[in-house]
Chain A
């Protein structure tokens, strides 16, 4: 369990990163709709993922309306793959014990 990436292991961030790994990019509203967090919580999680280098944030304006797009970085994709591999091995060990 100690080997698991702490940034990704948080369920909301795991949901976000897994979603982003399936698409090129997604905006704030899409993630909000999917993950079911408040705007503040989502914003906070995205900041943490950005600081870890796992997502890229692009802020722009559609007319006067602010628009934020997110995409997973190569580093984020690699970290996520590694996370799933480690989680699989932990589960396999647990299943062996049982």
Chain B
């Protein structure tokens, strides 16, 4: 692990480049935004299909009911497939690279492939779905009021996401999501005016999940613009062209050579 990123240096010290390179790499959130858009679209599809299913059931339209149930299942399976497939990972990577364009590719995971997530944390990820299904069942059978739907979710999501942020060494922006989601739960429990009315009850969980996610992603992206500007200024400005360093071997960096790729 590099130590230069942890030490503090005075303004103008070239070793600040290390810290800003890491900050820039950590806050490139476009890949999260691409995933966010896809998941949002799929959740909307599931939501629309679920509404159609309910309407068709109430009106006794068997064909529409069957079609909407199939649509809902297909959308849900697509969402699961997208979350785990290699193809979707490559697609997100390609779109991200295209969107970043001339900035190029840079990564800082901190975790690295040789140091994977601990098995218990991966297990907690699997438990996330089971926990929410349990919550849905408890609400359906009136063991828990629907008013506590989001706080129930936050009781698991907030610590889980914080652990993920810590273990994956994501930037500060990634803390916003679990922290805001947790604070929203507290606000709901305190009956602060952040609740959607009865007819829009589902928005009390959907809006915080996607809304705070988007806030975190956009904050990260904006910060990456600043970090990029800062990094470029430091890289080009803080390492002088031999003003107080003697040229080591007469090189001036203009010795040409073939490009590694065109």
The interface of chain A, by Cβ under 8 A from chain B, is: 1, 4, 6, 9-12, 14-15, 18-19, 21-37, 39-47, 57, 59, 62, 65-69, 77, 80-81, 84
Contact = CB atoms under 8 A, between A and B. Distances in A.
A22 B26 CA distance: 11
Contacts of B242: 11
Given A11-B245, A23-B108, A33-B104, A47 B257 contact: yes
The residue in B2, B3, B231, B258 that gathers the most chain A C-beta atoms within 10 A of its C-beta is: B2
A84 B236 CA distance: 18
A30 B28 CA distance: 13
B25 interface: yes
Contacts of A68: 260-261
A37 B248 contact: no
4 nearest A-B residue pairs (beta carbon): A30-B104, A22-B21, A29-B104, A44-B257
8 contacts: A15-B14, A18-B235, A22-B17, A28-B260, A41-B256, A65-B261, A66-B261, A81-B3
A84 B16 CA distance: 12
Interface in B158-217: none
B105 interface: yes
B63 interface: no
Contacts of A14: 14, 239
A6 B257 CA distance: 19
A11 B253 CA distance: 8
User: How large, as a class, is the contact surface on chain B?
Assistant: 35 or more
A25 B90 CA distance: 18
Nearest to B2: A21
A1 B241 CA distance: 16
B106 A37 contact: no
A77 to B, nearest CB: 6
Interface of B: 2-5, 14-15, 17-22, 25, 94, 97, 102-110, 112, 231-232, 235-236, 239-242, 245-249, 251, 253-262
Contact of B105 (A18, A26, A37, A80): A26
A39 to B, nearest CB: 4
Contacts of B245: 9, 11
Contacts of A77: 2
Contacts of A18: 4, 14-15, 17-18, 21, 235, 239
Given A43-B259, A46-B260, A19 B253 contact: no
B257 A66 contact: no
A22 B259 contact: no
Contact of A23 (B14, B107, B246): B107
A29 B2 CA distance: 23
B257 A43 contact: yes
A81 B15 CA distance: 10
